[in-house]
Chain A
Amino acid sequence: AQRVTQPEKLLSVFKGAPVELKCNYSYSGSPELFWYVQYSRQRLQLLLRHISRESIKGFTADLNKGETSFHLKKPFAQEEDSAMYYCALSGFGNEKLTFGTGTRLTIIP
C-alpha cells in the first residue's frame, strides 16, 4: 500500500528564516516523490520532483530511502512562499498519485 504522511497541518515561519516541511512515505517498490503547491486562489501545481534534482523557487528536496522521507527545504523564507504544500508519491510505471494531507505554510513578515 502507498501512504504519505505530512505530520504538520500548519507551519508558521518568519520571513528570512529557514523552512522545512516534512514528508514521510510508505511504499514497497521504487517510489517517485513530488511536491505540489497551491497558492491562494490558484490551482494545484507541481513544485518539484525528486528525479529532476532541481531547485525551484529556492526549494529543494532530497529523497532519503533509508528514512523514507522527502522533506522540502528552503534556506530563507519569503512572503510569497505562503501556500498549501502537498507531498505526493507514485510508483515507477504507476501514475496513480497518493497525496499527503498537506501543510499550510504561513510566512510571517
Chain B
Amino acid sequence: DAGVTQSPTHLIKTRGQQVTLRCSPKSGHDTVSWYQQALGQGPQFIFQYYEEEERQRGNFPDRFSGHQFPNYSSELNVNALLLGDSALYLCASSLGGARYSNQPQHFGDGTRLSIL
C-alpha cells in the first residue's frame, strides 16, 4: 500500500492563475482533508471531504474549493492565485463517519506550490 499519494510534487504558477492539486487516499480510507503549510508554520486546515461533500471548512476564502470523487480521491482547486498562496499543500486521509470519529489522519508528501 503506497499510502496517501499526491500529485504533482512541485508546481510553479504566476499570480492570477488557477491550480488543481490531486490526492489519492490510503487504501480503505474514505475521508480526505487538505492542509496548507507555510514555511516555518504548522499545517492549517483548509477543508475536509466525506461522501463527496465538504464536511468541514477552515478559515480560507472561497478561492479555495475542492471535490471528492466516488473512488474517494480528491482535488483542491485554488483560483486567482496570490503570492501568499505559496506553501506546501498536504492531503490527509482517514476512515470517516460517526462510527470512526477521530480516526488518525495519514498524510501524503505534499505538493509544493510556488507563486511568482
Chain A positions within 8 Å of B, measured between CB atoms, are 4, 32, 34, 36, 43-46, 49, 86, 88, 90, 92-102
Contact = CB atoms under 8 A, between A and B. Distances in A.
A95 B42 contact: no
Q: Is the interface of B mostly helix, strand, loop or mixed?
A: loop
B56 interface: yes
Nearest to A42: B109
Given A95-B56, A95-B94, A97-B33, A46 B42 contact: no
7 contacts: A43-B108, A46-B105, A46-B106, A93-B98, A95-B103, A96-B58, A97-B45
Interface of B: 3-4, 31, 33, 35, 40-45, 48, 56, 58, 90, 92, 94, 96, 98, 101-110
Contacts of B109: 43
B41 A43 contact: no
Q: Is the interface of A mostly helix, strand, loop or mixed?
A: strand
Nearest to A6: B42
Contacts of A32: 102
B102 A102 contact: no
A86 B98 CA distance: 26
By Cβ-Cβ distance, the 9 closest A-B pairs, closest first, are A99-B42, A44-B107, A46-B104, A96-B45, A99-B43, A43-B109, A93-B101, A101-B42, A96-B56
